[in-house]
Amino acid sequence: MRHALATALALLVAAQPALGDDLTVGAGARYATISAALEAARPGDRVLVHAGTYREPTLVIRTPRLTLEGQGWPVLDGQGAREVLVIAADDVTVRGIVAANTGISNLQDRAGIRAREVRNCVIEHNRLRDNLWGIYLQRSADCAVRDNDVEAHGLRQTESGNGIHLWYSPGARVENNHVRGHRDGIYFEFSSHGLARGNVSERSQRYGLHFMFSDSCAYLENTFRDNNSGVAVMYSRGVVIARNRFQRSWGSAAYGLLLKDINGGEITDNVFERNSTGLFVEGSSRLQVRGNTFTQNGWAAKVLADADENTFSGNRFSGNAFDVTTNSRSANSTFDGNWWDEYAGYDLNRDGVGDTAFHPVRLFALVVEQHPAALLLLRSPLVSILDAAERVLPVLTPEALVDRRPLMRPPR
């Protein structure tokens, strides 16, 4: 009985990481260097780093359940020559540090903070400055990356890595980070069952968010703006993309959201605003596109003919140069019960649904798809006449792309 009690007590102690020692680092503190403190630390300890600039060889945390915490934003400086901090043990927390200045390399992917083949790491409230790669999770499961501020500038375009990069790291939670100026702001590659929520990713050299080969992930309530090419979600199954803002991606290869080879997904309640193309769908099937707002885009939605069984309902389309376009008459996505500001029909029975169908694909949009230079004629009266004629009597535009129940008022 006494033995059992002792065991229970021991377990309780083991389960309580706060009972470790605090090891202080800084001028006049117990340790002069972070390396020395990490060397001395035991599982469950906290290494508290005071303000100052630390120029040490790449720091590697090899002690499980360790917390590395900065007080007053200590700067860990890679001096343009090396990776700054590596987490190489399970259950490690890093917070409150500034990891800076890894410098560039053609053959090494240097990161400000890297988690290397670990579980349950927490990387929170840090600042990453001018690193080739910001935070890099490499084959690390169930980690949390939150409330970090990640910025790169001054690096040449050819030599920038990603802000928050996940590679074979399932179950990650990436929340409330702010990322600016990297190649891709946030990148999930081969990382399933992840969550990206509440992040702001802007001014990326390429994509604000980029997902490749990452099944069953959710991207919620993020803001992506002024990213050179927008956001790309590719080669994945079962994605949920809800309540995000995709804003101001302009350029011939820029999309608010590019979906390529996505099998099954929900795209709901997002805002697509002021992009060259709001939503681009290629080779994707069984997508539910619901309750989104498409406003002031060049093309609100481009849905290529190889996209299959996709449903658009309850969306709002307003102020776009083109609402919907495609590349073939045989396109077969379904549009049902959306609101279109271009709709000029009537509602005699006052049920809120227009009595005549709406054809969202303008004839001219198809012409432009084949001959981009024709865009010059966008405001020509002849084009308006052609479009009007085509809407009344569709000859060339895809028959299937028609909304038979257009809403008279924007939903909600």
Partner 1 sequence: MRRFVPPRRLALLALVAFFAACRAREPEPIVLNEDQCGYCRMTISDARFGGEAVLPTGRVLKFDAPECMLSWARSMPADQRGDLYIIDLQHPGTFVPVTTAGFLTGGSMQGPMGGSVVGFASAAKAEEQRTMLGGRVTTWAELLADTASMGHH
| Three-state SS annotation for 354-374 | CCCCECCECHHHHHHHHCHHH
Site stretch for partner 1 (CB under 8 A), options 3-11, 103-111, 341-349, 385-393: 103-111
Tokens of 286: 């069984």
Site stretch for partner 1 (CB under 8 A), options 22-30, 105-113, 287-295, 370-378: 105-113
Instruction: Choose between 252 and 370: whose C-beta lies nearer to partner 1.
Output: 252
Tokens of 209: 């968010």
- Residue 318's SS3 state is strand
Per-residue string for binding with partner 1, 183-212, x by CB under 8 A? xx----xx--------------xxx----x
Site stretch for partner 1 (CB under 8 A), options 84-92, 129-137, 224-232, 311-319: 224-232
Instruction: Choose between 177 and 204: whose C-beta lies nearer to partner 1.
Output: 204
Tokens of 151: 């910025």
In the DSSP assignment, the letter for residue 11 is H
**Can residue 325 be called a binding residue for partner 1 (CB under 8 A)?**
no
Of 246-275, binders to partner 1 (CB under 8 A) are: 251-253, 258, 260
Rounded to whole angstroms, the Cα distance separating 58 from 51 reads 19
Note the Cα 50 to chain centre separation in Å: 33
Binds partner 1 by CB under 8 A, chosen from 1, 4, 158, 393: 158
Rounded to whole angstroms, the Cα distance separating 199 from 65 reads 27
Shortest Å, Cβ 187 to partner 1: 11
Instruction: Choose between 189 and 342: whose C-beta lies nearer to partner 1.
Output: 189
Contacts of 316 by beta carbon, 8 Å cutoff, 6+ apart: 292, 293, 294, 295, 338, 339, 410, 411
Using alpha carbons only, what angle is made at residue 257 by residues 251 and 259, rounded to the nearest 5 degrees? 115
Q: Please report how many Cα atoms fall inside a 13 Å half-sphere around the Cα of residue 272, on the Cβ side.
A: 36
Strands (E), 226-276: 230-242, 245-247, 255-268, 271-273
Using alpha carbons only, what angle is made at residue 208 by residues 203 and 214, rounded to the nearest 5 degrees? 165
Per-residue string for binding with partner 1, 272-301, x by CB under 8 A? ----------x-------------------
Instruction: Choose between 202 and 282: whose C-beta lies nearer to partner 1.
Output: 282
Shortest Å, Cβ 208 to partner 1: 12
Binds partner 1 by CB under 8 A, chosen from 28, 157, 348, 373: 157
Q: Give contact residues for partner 1 (rule: CB under 8 A).
A: 106-107, 109, 157-158, 167, 183-184, 189-190, 205-207, 212-213, 228-229, 232, 234-235, 251-253, 258, 260, 282
